[in-house]
């Protein structure tokens, strides 16, 4: 298979495939006499794993670990599960942080008159002037 066939089968762009090759994440494809890459089913599996892992938030380094497990016939599913649960917990913490940020922004917006005046409690709060708009817990 050539790179455009692989791109269609994996849902990746040719550029993304070459990027993953350059980063050493996928097995290098064989080259034909004219220099074209020649891909196998193994490459499709590696690239599909990469695409799907990236879609659920795994970093490139974490993808490298998953690919190593993919290639290891002696792997334990418990190792894959542990990495997956670690990623899920990390995402959960990130969601909590984002929810706190959202709550603070909504608190700030609620205190702003949003009129034609120059006085703005949002700006004042962001530069450290206490406007009394937000309880300390919401600012954390």
| Strands (DSSP E) found in 8-114 | 30-31, 37-38
Q: Are 13 and 51 in contact (CB under 8 A)?
A: no
pLDDT for 32 equals 85
Say which residues have a Cβ less than 8 Å from residue 21's Cβ, sequence separation at least 6. 28, 29
Q: How many domains does the chain have?
A: 2
Do 67 and 98 share a domain, yes or no? no
Q: Is residue 98 part of a domain?
A: yes
State pTM to two decimals: 0.77
| Strands (DSSP E) found in the chain | 30-31, 37-38
For 107-138, write each residue's pLDDT tens digit.
Answer: 999 999 989 988 899 999 999 887 665 555 44
Helix (H, G, I), strand (E, B) or coil at 127: coil
Do 18 and 34 share a domain, yes or no? yes
DSSP single-letter state for residue 11? T
Question: 108 lies in which domain range?
Answer: 79-127
Do 1 and 70 share a domain, yes or no? yes
pLDDT for 129 equals 85
């Amino acid at each position: 298979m050539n790179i455009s066939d692989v791109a269609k089968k994996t849902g990746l762009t040719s550029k993304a495939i070459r990027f993953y090759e350059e980063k050493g994440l996928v097995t290098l494809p064989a080259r034909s006499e004219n220099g074209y890459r020649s891909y196998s089913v193994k490459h499709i599996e590696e690239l599909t794993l990469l695409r799907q892992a990236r879609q659920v938030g795994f970093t490139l380094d974490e993808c490298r670990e998953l690919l190593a497990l993919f290639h290891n016939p002696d792997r334990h599913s418990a190792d894959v599960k542990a990495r997956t649960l670690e990623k899920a917990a990390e995402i959960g913490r990130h969601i909590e942080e984002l929810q706190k940020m959202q709550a603070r922004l909504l608190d700030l917006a609620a205190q702003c008159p949003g009129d034609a005046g120059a006085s703005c409690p949002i700006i004042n709060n962001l530069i450290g002037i206490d406007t009394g708009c937000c309880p300390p817990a919401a600012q954390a």
